[in-house]
Structure 1
Amino acid sequence: MAKSLLVISRSAPGHGLFAREALDIALAGGAYDLPLGMLFLDDGVFQLAAQQRPELLQQKSLAANLQALSLFGVDELFACSFSLAERGLAQEDLALAVQVLPVEAISPLLNRFDEVITL
């Protein structure tokens, strides 16, 4: 049986390559039918914002990669409620359906997965 993997994305889009790399890892894992989830924490929740303008930073949009997650079998998507609130985002502001978790649910989530990668 394949080990399960949780990818934690903590970086905002447009601030280095970490946001894109986290999505690439999730997509690659999904392509190999790896049991996989993705958690957006801290500035990583900005990746989920519906109204992004990456061209202002001369960046490519991550929207297509985010939408492709479900096509690759990555259906367990989570966001930290504290991270969203701290950055002025509500669930209705998000371009992707995610399960919003309170801070106290993060540790049990981490324990559900065999491996955790944080970018």
Structure 2
Amino acid sequence: MSQSLAVIFNKAPYGTQSGRELLDIALMAAAFDMDISALFIDDGVYQLLENQQPDILNMKNHSPTFKALELYGIETVLISQEDLSQRSLSEAQLLKVAKVSSSNHINQVIRRSDFVFML
């Protein structure tokens, strides 16, 4: 039985490299046949916004790489409904890679995971 890993994106996509690094960790772990959950909470919900323009900040846009999660077999991709609402965001503004879920359900996924990464 493979072990499970929850990768928690909780920071905005630019200003730090944590989003890109967590994405790399998730994709690498998937290569080792781990059961990966990508979870977007707090300001991490901004990671999945469509039409980001980080080139204004002289940064590379890593958000299109989130579309590769499914290709790597990462099927559990959840985004917090409560955190979206608190930031006045809607599902229509996001990349179509995550399922909107309650914080309670996301917390259950975290508790069931063998390993948890959050930067």
TM-score (norm 1): 0.92
Distance in 1 (CA, whole Å) between partners of 2:57 and 2:66 is: 19
Gaps of 5+ in 2: none
Aligned pairs, number:
119
Equivalence for 1:7: 7
Per-residue displacement from partner, 1:16-74 (whole Å, max 9, x unpaired)? 11010110000101122211110011111101001211111111111332111111111
Question: Structure 1 residue runs of 4+, over 6 Å off?
Answer: none
What is the Cα deviation at residue 13 of structure 1? 1.1
Superposition pairs for residues 104-119 of structure 1, below 5 Å? 104-119=104-119
Identical pairs, percent = 35
Cα RMSD after superposing both structures: 1.3
Superposition pairs for residues 50-69 of structure 1, below 5 Å? 50-69=50-69
* Matched residue type, 2:28: A
Equivalence for 1:36: 36
Gaps of 5+ in 1: none
Equivalence for 2:26: 26
Distance in 2 (CA, whole Å) between partners of 1:51 and 1:88 is: 17
8 Å CA contact 2:67, 2:97 repeated in 1? no
* Matched residue type, 1:7: V
What is the Cα deviation at residue 2 of structure 1? 2.4
Q: Look up the SS of the partner of 1:39 in the other structure.
A: strand
Q: Look up the SS of the partner of 2:116 in the other structure.
A: strand
